Structure 1
Amino acid sequence: MEEGPDEGAAVAVSANETSETTPSDTPSGTLTSQQLAAIEDEEVLNKLLDKAVDFDERRMIRAALRDLLKKKREKREKERGSRQDDLRQQALSKAGTGRMGMNRGGQTSNHQHKSHMHSQFSASTTSSLSKTTDSMANPAIATAHQSSPVAAAPNMKNVKQMLLDWCRAKTEPYEGVEIHNFSSSWSDGIAFCALVHRFFPDAFEYSILNPNARKDNFELAFSTAERLADCPPLLDVEDLLRMHEPDWKCVYTYIQELYRCLVEKGLVKTKKKL
């Protein structure tokens, strides 16, 4: 019999068991690629993907979802480009007018203003990320290990791989996300955003996220998970920004907690351990 964790034990993941259901108005039969391409709602495609069991059908749904995300991103980039062109024209127009009255004192003042803007950021102090690492011995996890000391070590390794597989399965349709581990795969914050977006697709627009805006990505993912899933922000954004790669133990702990919160919300189904 397949074993799964209870709410107090380490997270054991069943990647294809979720509470997401296909809307009643979605056809139950296999959809064609043309029909899938006509769907413009990410949530509908995600639910279809969760329900699909046929390999070719899953492949078509994933392709449709990737195309939809790409289409939204391109549309947003086009709109952003138009706004930037308008702003550039306005700036050139103002510069032409202002240059007539520019004096030496004005140039000096502008230089001082820029210097002030560049110097307003300071190094932050040592934070709570190391505390998160030290607290990896989660009381609930420790209790589970104590109750089964012989199976504790191999079970922990198995749970870690199952959780990694679950993350990979849930973020598979998202462009720019490739999860291979609990460290470097999460360094730009995009993977966190994709995982949260999978369960809360209306919370934010994934297609406009910038992998280079690491701070924005971390803050968006953690705040959304806290607001909608009641998942505490165990990771400190400033610590993550200072690191080239996050500590895998810290990321693993956070993903465990997010999974547990999703289970409590009824968004993920898991079997109780007998």
Structure 2
Amino acid sequence: MESKTDGGSTALAIEELAAIEDEEVLNKMLDKAVDFEERRRIRAALRDLLKKKREKREQERGSRQQDMRQQGLSKGGTTAGGVSTGRASMNQQPSTHKPAVQASSSAAFTRTSGNPAPASAQKCLPAAAPNAKNVKQMLLDWCRAKTEPYEGVDIQNFSSSWKDGIAFCALVHRFFPDAFEYSILNPNKPRENFQLAFATAERLAGCPPLLDADDLVRMQEPDWKCVYTYIQEFYRCLVEKGLVKTKKRP
């Protein structure tokens, strides 16, 4: 790829980036890039790619719904059934993982507490350590860096920034881009987003689902200790699989 030696080279680099349609390729390029301007162009290309995929998916969904309406009218039926079927198909992946997430969650929480205490007390492990503050900030910075190209994600803390489930999905998707289509996720469906992220992390990274989607939905904001504990575990699992190399990482 051309470097930014002059206006023509920069334009060529942008055109080359725009021609890449594989999120994983752009993610790897972003991890390797050290030049600030180069990273900025790669992030912009990744955002544009995610946006194009989302728009294409929405267009395809609209076309399918229109075809189903026409089929329903030709058969003398109503259009409601077609729309409902389309929604069920779009949400199929998160819902199929729900029982596994809940079942595994119970086992994981039992390991962290021997008493049948309330769920919220079982899930949140103490984050006390001599350098806990530094580790927490490093982990937050890591999450922010990994999800920076994703639209709709702005990680500022371990609580409110995760309440719609999109940040969890973005973080998991960054390491497993073929696991699901990020561009179709809906921030207004947090339960499905939580289920999708936790089930995918468990299946592909071996990360136990220490959080429960239903509990998170009931909370006005997630308990930061719970989110922090889960992200620590997810990070550890990625390290074990060789997907994250540790130096000064948390």
Q: Please classify the TM superposition score into its range, dividing by the shorter chain length.
A: 0.7 to 0.9
After superposition, the C-alpha distances for 1:151-205 in whole angstroms (9 at most, x for unaligned) are x1xx111111110000000000000100010011000100000000000111111
Aligned counterparts, 1:6-155, within 5 A: 32-94=13-75, 128-133=119-124, 135-136=125-126, 145=129, 152=130, 155=131
- Give the CA deviation at 1:69: 0.3
- Larger CA deviation: 85-94 vs 205-214: 85-94
The residue number in structure 2 matching 1:21 is: none
Over 3 Å counting, the alpha-carbon distance change for 1:226 and 1:28 in structure 2 is farther
CA distance in 2, matches of 1:127, 1:82: 47
The residue number in structure 2 matching 1:226 is: 202
The residue number in structure 1 matching 2:223 is: 247
Query: Root-mean-square deviation (CA), in Å?
Result: 2.2
TM-score, scaled relative to structure 1? 0.70
Structure 2 residue 162 is matched with structure 1 residue 189? no
Structure 2 residue 156 is matched with structure 1 residue 177? no
AA at the equivalent of 2:195:
E
The residue number in structure 1 matching 2:176 is: 200
Structure 1 runs of 4+ aligned residues shifted over 6 Å read 28-31
User: What is the number of equivalent residue pairs in this alignment?
Assistant: 204
CA distance in 2, matches of 1:236, 1:96: 40
- Give the CA deviation at 1:94: 4.7
Structure 2 residue 206 is matched with structure 1 residue 216? no
User: For structure 2, which runs of at least 5 residues remain unmatched after alignment?
Assistant: 5-11, 79-116
CA distance in 2, matches of 1:136, 1:264: 23
- Give the CA deviation at 1:91: 3.6
Larger RCO (CA under 8 A, 6+ residues apart): 1
Structure 1 or 2: more helix by fraction: 2
AA at the equivalent of 1:193:
C
TM-score, scaled relative to structure 2? 0.76
CA distance in 2, matches of 1:250, 1:96: 48
- Give the CA deviation at 1:29: 6.4
CA distance in 1, matches of 2:2, 2:200: 32
Q: Is the 8 A contact 1:129 1:235 kept in 2?
A: no
